[in-house]
Amino acid sequence: MSFPQAFVDPSSVAVVGATEDRAKWGYWLATGALAGADRRQVWLVNRRAAQVLGQSCRPTVDDLPQAPDLVALCVPSRDVLPVVRDALAKGCRAFLSITAGLGADEAELAALLRESDARLIGPNSLGLFNAATELRLAWGNFTPGRLAIVSQSGQLGSEIAGLGARAGLGVSRFYSVGNQLDVGAVDVLESLVSDEHTGTVALYLESFADGARIVTALGALRRAGKHALVLTTGASEGSRLLARSHTGSMTSALDVVDAACRAAGALRVATPRELVDAARVLDATAPPGGRRVAIISDSGGQGGIAADIAGDRGLRTPVFTEPLQARLRDLLSNAAAAVSNPVDLAGAGEADLQLYARVTELVAASGEVDSIVLSGYLGCYGEDSPSLKDAESAVIDRLGRRPRTDASHVPLIVHSMSAASPAVARLREHRVPVFDTIDAALGALGHVTRLGGQPRPAPLTVRTEAAVPAPGYWAARTFLTALGIAMPEARRVTDAAGFAAACASLRPPLVLKADWIAHKSEHQAVRTGLGPDTAAAVFREMYERLGPGEYVVEEQDTRPGVVELLIGARRDRDFGPTVTVGHGGVLAELWHDVCVELAPVDRRTAAGMLDRLRSRRLLDGWRGQPAVDLDALIDAVVAVSEAIAATTGLADIEVNPIRVGPEGALAVEALVIPRAEDVVAQAACEATGVNGHRETTEEQEASREHVH
Amino acid sequence: MSFPQAFVDPSSVAVVGATEDRAKWGYWLATGALAGADRRQVWLVNRRAAQVLGQSCRPTVDDLPQAPDLVALCVPSRDVLPVVRDALAKGCRAFLSITAGLGADEAELAALLRESDARLIGPNSLGLFNAATELRLAWGNFTPGRLAIVSQSGQLGSEIAGLGARAGLGVSRFYSVGNQLDVGAVDVLESLVSDEHTGTVALYLESFADGARIVTALGALRRAGKHALVLTTGASEGSRLLARSHTGSMTSALDVVDAACRAAGALRVATPRELVDAARVLDATAPPGGRRVAIISDSGGQGGIAADIAGDRGLRTPVFTEPLQARLRDLLSNAAAAVSNPVDLAGAGEADLQLYARVTELVAASGEVDSIVLSGYLGCYGEDSPSLKDAESAVIDRLGRRPRTDASHVPLIVHSMSAASPAVARLREHRVPVFDTIDAALGALGHVTRLGGQPRPAPLTVRTEAAVPAPGYWAARTFLTALGIAMPEARRVTDAAGFAAACASLRPPLVLKADWIAHKSEHQAVRTGLGPDTAAAVFREMYERLGPGEYVVEEQDTRPGVVELLIGARRDRDFGPTVTVGHGGVLAELWHDVCVELAPVDRRTAAGMLDRLRSRRLLDGWRGQPAVDLDALIDAVVAVSEAIAATTGLADIEVNPIRVGPEGALAVEALVIPRAEDVVAQAACEATGVNGHRETTEEQEASREHVH
C-alpha cells in the first residue's frame, strides 16, 4: 500500500478539537494548520465553540461542506472512535491521532480502518510537519531544512529538532508515528526515498518488527543519495526493561541493529546529540572516503587532545610523508611549528592568517588524508583583536570556497573556541561544519566517516534450501559437510565391537562423543586424547554412564599453530537470518569478541567481519607462527550464512570451535537447531523469497502483531 | 621553596611592554593590571611612550620609584634578558614572562634567576589571574568562580575558562605556566591546597617530570576537600609526536597517569568539555557515593536512551525493589507510567508538575540509588505553555531546596530539552547542575562518580631493601621465593649426570629451562612435559644446541582449574614504582587485560586491581570450576609491589605466568631486571625515602633537568 499523499500535502485539513487554550494540542495544531491556509482548505472542528482563533468552527466533521483529505484528532480518548466513524462515513480516508490512551478501543479502531481502507498515523503521535508543503500539525515550531525526522517517540523527535534548530540545522519533514497502529515508521521511510527536500533521515525506533522492510527502505534511501542515522535503545538492562523486550543470546539486539545498518549503508548513533552533530556534517559535505584525518591547530595542547580524541572515535592521524612535511616546513617558518600531523602553527597563524588556508590546501591536495579538522583559535581572532577582523574574514572566505563536489574533495570540519563570533557565523554561511568542542567535531566526523561505504548488495548466489537435519551431532556433521565445511574423519558406533573396529580405521588420538547430547562438556559426553591403550576403557565408562545410543568417534585435530574460532548463525525475530564469527574455544564467552552481519554474506563481507575482531592478529600468525588459512575460514562463514538464509526450517547453527591452521579449517563441534514447529509453519512461504532480510515475510508481519 | 606571594597578591605590579594596541599582549596585561589599581600600585613601562591608557609611563624598570613586587614581561624576546637583569638589579624577585621564543637565552635566564633567588612563571605563559585579589595579567576576561586552572598550554587553559564561562562556571585562579623554566605546575598546585576560594582544580600537563611531587600535591588537594581534574595527551601516536616537538618531553603512559590520579584521589578526563562538565557538577554537589543512578523522565524514549548512556559511562540503573515500585505506582496513577528504573512519568508530569519532586524525593529517600538524573521536558513547560509557568517554578524551587550537605544526600542532575529557558536559569540559581544534552549530563555524572573515593593512603609496611639479584632465572626464583611467592620445586644442573639425579628427586612431568636466556620461548630454551622416558634426550638436545651453562629443571604445574595471570612491576620514569596485574599466558599481549597502580599497594588496592580486569570472572570459577585462591594471588601482587618500591636497584620484575588454582598460586616463569648502572648511582639516596612515589627524589629532579 503506498503512502497516502494526504500525509504529505493534503488538499484539505480538518483539526478536530481545535481550541484557543495554548496548553492544549488543539491550539498548536489549529494554528499550525492555519499557517498553511493559503495552500489548502483548513477547517476547525469544535463541538462547543462557534469560533476559534478568529475562524468559524463546525461542531462535527459531518457538518463540513466536504470530506477533508486529512483529519487531525485532538479530542479526548473516548471521542476518537465516534469521530473516526463520523469522518469515515463522510468519506475521509486519512487520520492523524494525537490523542493517546485509547486502551481497548485501539483494536476496534484498527478494524474500522482496515474495513474502510483508511490510514492513520498514531495514536499517541506528536504530529507531523512538512516544510515544503507548509503542512504543520505538531507542537512547537520547526526551522525548515533538509533533515527528515521519523520517530516512534514524539518527544525524542522534538529533542532532535530542537538541538538541530539551535545548531542551524532545519527539518524537511517530521513524522511522530506514535503507537504505529496502522502507519509505521517504515511506511514513512519508504515515502522519503523520493523526497527531493530531504538530505538526511533521522530514525528513532524502539522495536524493529518490520526489520527486513526497514533494511530495504534504508538501503533505498542510501541509493537515492540520502543518509540515514538510526537511534534506538536496548544497550542497558534499564532500557530493555523499559522497552519490554529482551534477547538472551551471545549477540545483543543492538549488534543486530548495527548489522542491519551496515547492510543498508545507514549508521546507528547513541544519542540525539550525536545524531544532530553527524547530520550537521552530512548537511555540508559528503562522508570522507576513509579514516585518515589531519589535525591542524595553533596550539600544541589542543592539537594533541584532538589527535587523542580522533583515535578514540575510530579515526587515524597518520604521520605525514617527508615530502609533505618539508613543504609544510617551508610554509611555516616558525621554529616552534610542528608539521608531522597534528600540524601546530604555534602562533604563525596570528602573524599571517592566510596560513590556515595554505596549510589546509596543501594537506588536502596531498592525498595523505581523507578529512581535515581545524582546532583552536580560528573564529576568535577578530573578536579579540579588531585589527585582525578583515584578515580572518578573508581566510574564512578562502576556506569556504574550497570545492566540495569533486571526487577528490577532502571534507573540512572546524572546532572553534568561540561559540558564536561573526567569524563562526561566516564559516556556517559557507557551509563549513563548525563545532564549539573538539568532542563534538571529532565525534561527528567519526560517525560520518563510518557512512563512507555504500549499502551492501545482496549476494547473488544463495544455495537452494537444504533439508533440516535430524537431531544429533552426526546429522549436524552431515549437514555442515554438505555445505563444504571440513570436519574430522569419524565413525558412528553403538557398541564396543563397533567402537574397536572404528578405532582401528582412524588415526589416534581420537575423540569420543555421545551423539544425542547437545551440551557435551557439561554432561561429560565428550572425551579427547584417546589412544590405543585407553580407548576401550573410556568407551566402556561412557557407555555405562550414558547408556545405549549412537556414539561418534572422531580423529582429534592435533595440528600445531591452530586458532579456535566460532561461527554461528541465528534467525533474528526482527531482521531474519544473521551470521556471527568470533574468537572461539572455552574463553569465547569471556572475551565476547564477535562480529555479526545479516545473512547471507559474500566473501568480502566475511573478510570484513574477521578484520573487525579484536583477535584479528591471531590469524596473521601469532608470535612467529605461520598465518592461518583465511580463505578456508571465509568459505566456512559464507557457507553457514547461506545455509541459515536458505534453510527456513533452521533456527540456529553453532560451530564452536572451528580450528583454523595454516592449512585448512576443521569444525570440531557443531549444533544445528531446527525452528519450533509452529514458527516453521508460519514461515513456509518464506522459501520463495529466499534472500531473507530483503523481503517482508508473513512471519515478520505475524511477529509484529505479537509485539504490539 | 614556597610559592611567592607575589604570584598570588603582589603589593605592586609593573607591566613592561604596556601598549594601547589591542592586538598586543601589552594592552591586555596593562588594562588587566590597572583593573586592580585600587588594591595595589600598578606601573606601566614602555621604552618609547610617555603615556599609555591615560597613565604615565616609565621607560625602564630602573626608572620606577621602587622595585615592583611582580614584573610582567610583554617585550620582544631579545629584550627579556636585559629587562630581567635591570629588574633584578632594582631588587625585583618575581617575574611573569608572556614573551616566548627565548631560544638559547633560556639557559642564561635560568642561571640569572638561580643566582638571585628569583622566581619566574613562563616563558611562553598566557598569563595569570586571581579573582580574590583582583590580579589580572592575562588575555581576555575571566568570570570569577571556584575553578582554578593550571595549564602547561595557555590556549587549552583559555578554552577551559571559556567553556566554563559559557556554562556559568567561574574561575578562582588561572596560571598558564608555559615552558616551566622555573615555576612548575606542581608549585602552583601546592599553593592551591590552602586557597579557600578554590573548589575544583583543572590541571593540564603534557609531561609529568615531577610525577611523584604532583601525586603528593593532588593528594593534599583532595584531603583539603578540593577535587582535581587532570587533562593530558599521549593516547595517540600523533599527540606523542606533537608533545615531543612542542615541549621536547615524552608523554607519560596514560594508564600510569590514571594510576597516579587514583592514588591521589584525582581524575583524568579526555577533553576540556569533559573537564568543564564534571567541574560544573562538583561546583554544585559532592560526588555520589556509588554508581547506582535513577533515571526519571517523562518520555520512554528519552528514559531508554538515558539508561543506555548511563551504562556506557560506567553507571548502573538498578531495577527498583518491589516496595519502591509499589510506592511509585501509587504516586503515578497513569497506566502508561513505568516505575522500575527508568521511571517514565508518561505525561503524568504535565497533569501535576509536583510529581517530578515527589518522585525524586521518594527515590532519593529509598537508599536504592546514589544519584538521580531527570531527563526531558522539565525546563520547557512554562516556555511552551504560559499557564504552566508558575507550577514549573514551584516544582523547581522544591527540587532546588533539597538539602545537599547531609551524608545521605543524593545528587540530582537535570537534562532539559531547553537550553536557556527561565526555568533552566532558575535550576542554575538553585545550583542544580543542568545540561542541554543527556550525553553531557551523564558524562559528567560518570566522571564525578569516579571521584567518590578518597586518596589511597600509602601502605604502612614496606619491606626493607633487598639485594638486587644476579642475572638468570635461578636468581629470580630465589628473589621471588624470598618475597613469599611460591614457585615449583626445582634443581640447578650443569650436566647430564646432574640432570638425571635432579629428575630422580622431582615429580614428573618436568620442565627444563636454560637459566641464562631471558626470552626462553623465542630461543627454544624451555621444554615442558618431560617424562622419565623423554627427559634425557630433551636435555641432550638442548645442551648440544645452547652449550654449557646452568640449566634449571622444575616440576611442571599440572593442577586442573588453573588460571594464568601476569604480575609485573616497573619503575616509571615520571611516577616511580608501579605494579601491574593482568590476564597472562600466551594471549596476554592480545587481550591487553591489565591494571596498573603506583607501588606499593596494600591488599585492598590489589583486590581492586583484580576487580577491574575484564577477565575477573575467570577467578570466580569459570564454567563450573571452583574459584581460585584469591588470597594467594593478592599476596603475590602486594609482595611484588613492595619489592619494586623498596629495591631501588630494580628496573623491572615480570612474573608471567603465575598459575592460580583453587589452592595457591605458583609462579612458573619470571624475570628480574636491574636498573642500568648510571641510573642506580643517581638513585642511591632514594633508599632513605623508601615509599617511592610519595617523595621527591634527587633522581626525579635529575630527570627533570634532562627533560627540559
- The DSSP code sequence of A587-653 is THHHH--EEEEESS--HHHHHHHHHT-TTHHHHTTGGGPPPP-HHHHHHHHHHHHHHHHH-TTEEEE
Chain B hits for A253, CB-CB cut-off 8 Å, are: none
B623 touches chain A (CB under 8 A): yes
Q: Of the candidates B338, B239, B256, B351, which has an alpha carbon nearest to the alpha carbon of residue B295? A: B338
Q: Which ipTM was obtained for this model?
A: 0.91
pLDDT, residue B461, reads 53
Residue A321: its H or E element: none
pLDDT, residue A688, reads 34
Q: How far apart are CA A278 and CA B426, in angstroms?
A: 31
pLDDT, mean of residues B690-701:
33
Q: How far apart are CA A376 and CA A381, in angstroms?
A: 10
Q: How far apart are CA B69 and CA B9, in angstroms?
A: 9
**Pairing label, strands B267-269, B227-231:** parallel
User: Which of A270, A615, A623 lies nearest to residue B308, judging by beta carbons?
Assistant: A270
For B587-595, the CB contacts below 8 A with 24+ separation are: B587/A618, B587/A622, B588/B656, B588/B657, B590/A614, B590/A615, B590/A617, B590/A618, B590/A622, B591/A591, B591/A614, B591/B615, B594/B255, B594/B566, B594/B568
Q: Of the candidates A28, A207, A6, which has an alpha carbon nearest to the alpha carbon of residue A120? A: A6
Q: How far apart are CA A561 and CA A620, in angstroms?
A: 11
Q: Which of A293-297, A499-503, A673-677, B579-583 is the least confident region?
A: A673-677
Is the pLDDT at A499 greater than 50? The verdict is yes
Pairwise CB contact (< 8 Å): B305 & A22: no
**Closest chain B C-alpha to A298 CA, distance in angstroms:** 9
Q: How far apart are CA A14 and CA A70, in angstroms?
A: 6
Radius of gyration of chain A (CA): 31
If you search the block for the grid coordinates 545498518, which residue do you land on? Answer: A261
Q: How far apart are CA A270 and CA B50, in angstroms?
A: 61
B414 contacts B435 by C-beta, under 8 angstroms: yes
B568 contacts B653 by C-beta, under 8 angstroms: yes
User: Which of B155, B237, B307 lies nearest to residue A236, judging by beta carbons?
Assistant: B307
Pairwise CB contact (< 8 Å): A272 & B622: no
Q: Of the candidates A494, A670, A22, A269, which has an alpha carbon nearest to the alpha carbon of residue B383? A: A22
Residue B473: its H or E element: helix B473-482
pLDDT digits (tens, 9 = 90+) for A106-135: 999 999 999 999 999 999 999 999 999 999
Transcribe A391-402 into DSSP letters: HHHHHHHHHHTS
Which three cell numbers mark B657?
605466568
pLDDT, residue B404, reads 63
- Enumerate residues 6+ apart whose C-beta is below 8 A from A598: A215, A256, A259, A260, A263, A575, A576, A577, A578, A579, A692, A693
Chain B hits for A312, CB-CB cut-off 8 Å, are: 235, 270
**Closest chain B C-alpha to A264 CA, distance in angstroms:** 23
- Enumerate residues 6+ apart whose C-beta is below 8 A from A352: none
pLDDT digits (tens, 9 = 90+) for B542-594: 999 999 999 999 999 999 889 999 999 999 989 999 999 999 988 888 999 99
Percent of chain A with pLDDT strictly greater than 70 = 91
Is the pLDDT at A679 greater than 60? The verdict is no
pLDDT digits (tens, 9 = 90+) for A248-301: 334 468 899 999 999 999 999 999 999 999 999 999 999 999 999 999 999 999
pLDDT, residue B288, reads 94
- What is the DSSP-derived secondary structure letter of residue A78? G
Query: Sheet harboring A510-514: ordered strands across?
Result: A490-493, A551-555, A510-514, A526-530
B51 contacts B18 by C-beta, under 8 angstroms: no
- What is the DSSP-derived secondary structure letter of residue B262? H
Is the pLDDT at B195 greater than 60? The verdict is yes
CB count in 10 Å sphere of residue B623: 13
Q: How far apart are CA B514 and CA B279, in angstroms?
A: 56
Kindly report the average pLDDT of chain A as a whole number.
89
- Residue A245: pLDDT band (50, 70, 90) is very low
pLDDT digits (tens, 9 = 90+) for B644-691: 999 989 999 999 999 999 999 999 999 999 987 645 544 444 433 333
A562 three-class SS: coil
**Closest chain A C-alpha to B553 CA, distance in angstroms:** 25
**Closest chain A C-alpha to B242 CA, distance in angstroms:** 6
Residue A250: its H or E element: none
B361 contacts B355 by C-beta, under 8 angstroms: no
E strand map for A215-287: 227-231, 267-269
Pairwise CB contact (< 8 Å): A238 & B310: yes
B524 touches chain A (CB under 8 A): no
Q: How far apart are CA B168 and CA A568, in angstroms?
A: 53
Radius of gyration of chain B (CA): 31
pLDDT, residue A449, reads 95
User: Which of A242, A388, A437 lies nearest to residue B303, judging by beta carbons?
Assistant: A242
Is the pLDDT at A465 greater than 80? The verdict is no
Q: Which of A60-64, A169-173, A517-521, B362-366 is the least confident region?
A: A517-521
CB count in 10 Å sphere of residue B557: 19
- Residue B252: pLDDT band (50, 70, 90) is low
pLDDT digits (tens, 9 = 90+) for B143-186: 999 999 999 999 999 999 999 999 999 999 999 999 999 999 99
Q: Which of residues B696 and A403 earns the better pLDDT score?
A: A403
Angle value at C-alpha A444, between A440 and A449, nearest 5 degrees:
150
pLDDT, residue A259, reads 93
Which three cell numbers mark B706?
634532562
Which three cell numbers mark A2?
503506498
pLDDT digits (tens, 9 = 90+) for A138-185: 987 899 999 999 999 999 999 999 999 999 999 999 999 999 999 999
User: What are phi and psi for residue B518, nearest 5 degrees?
Assistant: -75, -50
pLDDT, mean of residues A60-77:
96
B592 touches chain A (CB under 8 A): no
Q: Of the candidates A434, A393, A399, A398, which has an alpha carbon nearest to the alpha carbon of residue A417? A: A434
pLDDT, residue A701, reads 32
Q: How far apart are CA B403 and CA B572, in angstroms?
A: 44
Q: How far apart are CA A691 and CA A330, in angstroms?
A: 57
pLDDT, residue B703, reads 30
Is the pLDDT at A606 greater than 80? The verdict is yes
A575 CB burial (10 A radius; 0-12, 13-18, 19+): buried
- Residue B519: pLDDT band (50, 70, 90) is confident
- What is the DSSP-derived secondary structure letter of residue B685? G
pLDDT digits (tens, 9 = 90+) for B681-692: 444 444 333 333
User: Which of B241, B344, B587 lies nearest to residue A242, judging by beta carbons?
Assistant: B344
Which three cell numbers mark B70?
611582580
pLDDT, residue B336, reads 78
Q: How far is CA A594 from the centre of its chain?
A: 17
Chain B hits for A274, CB-CB cut-off 8 Å, are: 439
- Residue A621: pLDDT band (50, 70, 90) is confident
Is the pLDDT at A682 greater than 80? The verdict is no
A671 CB burial (10 A radius; 0-12, 13-18, 19+): middle
Transcribe B30-77 into DSSP letters: HHHHHTTTTTSEEEEE-SS-SEETTEEEESSGGGSSS--SEEEE-S-H
Pairwise CB contact (< 8 Å): B305 & A338: no
Residue type, B684: A
If you search the block for the grid coordinates 622555573, which residue do you land on? Answer: B182
List all residues of chain B from 137 to 166 with a beta carbon under 8 Å from chain A.
Answer: 139-140, 151-153, 155-156, 158-159, 162-163, 166
Q: How far apart are CA A234 and CA A397, in angstroms?
A: 44
**Pairing label, strands A563-572, A650-660:** antiparallel
B650 contacts B675 by C-beta, under 8 angstroms: yes
B12 three-class SS: strand
The alpha-helical segments, DSSP class H, found in B291-379 are: 300-312, 322-331, 348-351, 354-365
For residue B416, give the chain A residue with the closest CA.
A159
- Enumerate residues 6+ apart whose C-beta is below 8 A from A393: A382, A423, A426
- Residue A616: pLDDT band (50, 70, 90) is very high
A291 three-class SS: coil
Q: How far apart are CA A73 and CA A29, in angstroms?
A: 9
Q: Which of A634-648, A672-686, B307-321 is the least confident region?
A: A672-686
**Closest chain B C-alpha to A173 CA, distance in angstroms:** 20
Residue A172: its H or E element: strand A171-176
B212 contacts B692 by C-beta, under 8 angstroms: yes
**Strand pairing partners for A374?**
A296, A414
B476 contacts B672 by C-beta, under 8 angstroms: yes
Which three cell numbers mark B308?
543506555
The alpha-helical segments, DSSP class H, found in A79-236 are: 80-90, 105-116, 154-166, 185-192, 211-223
Q: Model's pTM, two decimal places?
A: 0.92
Which three cell numbers mark A70?
486529512
